[in-house]
Amino acid sequence: MNKPEIRELLIETTRACNMRCAHCLRGEPETRYSSRTIMKALFRNISRVSTLTFTGGEPLLNPSVIRDALDVCKAEGIEVNSVFIATNGTIADNSTLALLREWDEYTLSSCYDRNWDRYVSGYEEIGQVINAVESARAEHQGLVLAISGDPWHEAIPERNIFALSTVGHLTTDKLMDYDSKLVPQGRAVENFASDDLNSGHVLNYDPCYYDDTADTDRPAIDSLYITVTGDIMPDCNLSYDDMDEISHGNVLEANWPEKLLNLQIAFEQKGGN
């Protein structure tokens, strides 16, 4: 089987967190971290990623695995169109900012026919590169950062917001005053009344990996969530406790994409969808 392309790949860099928000759907933090070994096993079986999300816990508490993922993607020539990170905004040191900038450059460079050995000059050639980058940014390619801000996240240094806004595109997607209902997982269930929880929220525990239109010679996986131990999950809205119950495979296993495809086929033959 050819290596699949993945539309949405979510990587849990760590289950550690330096905040303790009352509504956290993950539950209690854990001192567990992903590794270079997991990044190699994951990316050597992938051909392309549309959106790569680093999540946690607080994803920037494990910058070394974000560096490992970038190194492996560069070495394997894997095209990644955009990287998304939702952070609590507590970490904005210079080496983390430099790493994020490097991811921004790498993902934006997938937007045109790059050749770093080429020399360009003049209005037309230089303008082509600038236009390619501006168009990609307009499509939200490159690095997209969201600082989480709601009634339960702690205050953070104003300087961090400024510094993070200088790398990639800073979106306000995770700034909410919260009149919506909470995902019914983790500490949200412990700390809030059922009226505050989203009773209609469907948590997905079934396999749902391959796109309907997938050609099995060149498969396209819709969405994958990879835990700190390399386990594969069908949904990103699960608590750590639920994730530990339902692994659908692990990227450290040989031929994991083929096993996922077979799992999906078996599930559909049993009447799932």
For ligand SF4, the binding residues (CB under 6 A) are 17, 19-21, 24, 26, 56-58, 88, 148, 153
Of the two residues 93 and 139, which places its CB atom closer to ligand SF4 in the complex? 93
Of the two residues 47 and 90, which places its CB atom closer to ligand SF4 in the complex? 90
CB of 186 to ligand SF4, least distance (A): 8
Give the separation between CA 58 and CA 273, rounded to whole angstroms. Answer: 33
Of the two residues 132 and 197, which places its CB atom closer to ligand SF4 in the complex? 197
Of the two residues 56 and 234, which places its CB atom closer to ligand SF4 in the complex? 56
| Dihedral pair phi/psi, residue 250, rounded to 5° | -145, 140
Of the two residues 99 and 188, which places its CB atom closer to ligand SF4 in the complex? 188
Of the two residues 24 and 65, which places its CB atom closer to ligand SF4 in the complex? 24
CA dihedral sign, ordered 203, 207, 211, 213: negative
Distance of CA 36 to the CA centre of its chain: 16
Nearest CA to 69 out of 6, 122, 128 is that of 6
Give 15's strand partners.
none
CB of 236 to ligand SF4, least distance (A): 12
Asked whether the beta carbons of 120 and 126 are under 8 A apart, the reply is yes
C-beta pairs of 241-248 under 8 Å, 24+ apart in sequence: 241/27, 241/186, 242/185, 242/203, 242/205, 246/205, 248/207, 248/209
CB of 51 to ligand SF4, least distance (A): 19
Asked whether the beta carbons of 50 and 6 are under 8 A apart, the reply is yes
Give the separation between CA 220 and CA 189, rounded to whole angstroms. Answer: 35
CB of 249 to ligand SF4, least distance (A): 25
Of the two residues 60 and 136, which places its CB atom closer to ligand SF4 in the complex? 60
Q: What residues contact residue 26 under an 8 Å CB cut-off, 6+ apart?
A: 15, 17, 56, 57, 185, 186, 187, 239, 240
CB of 145 to ligand SF4, least distance (A): 14
CB of 196 to ligand SF4, least distance (A): 15
CB of 58 to ligand SF4, least distance (A): 5
Give the CA radius of gyration of the chain: 19
Give the separation between CA 144 and CA 36, rounded to whole angstroms. Answer: 23
Of the two residues 6 and 146, which places its CB atom closer to ligand SF4 in the complex? 146
- DSSP-derived 3-state class of residue 105: helix
CB of 7 to ligand SF4, least distance (A): 24
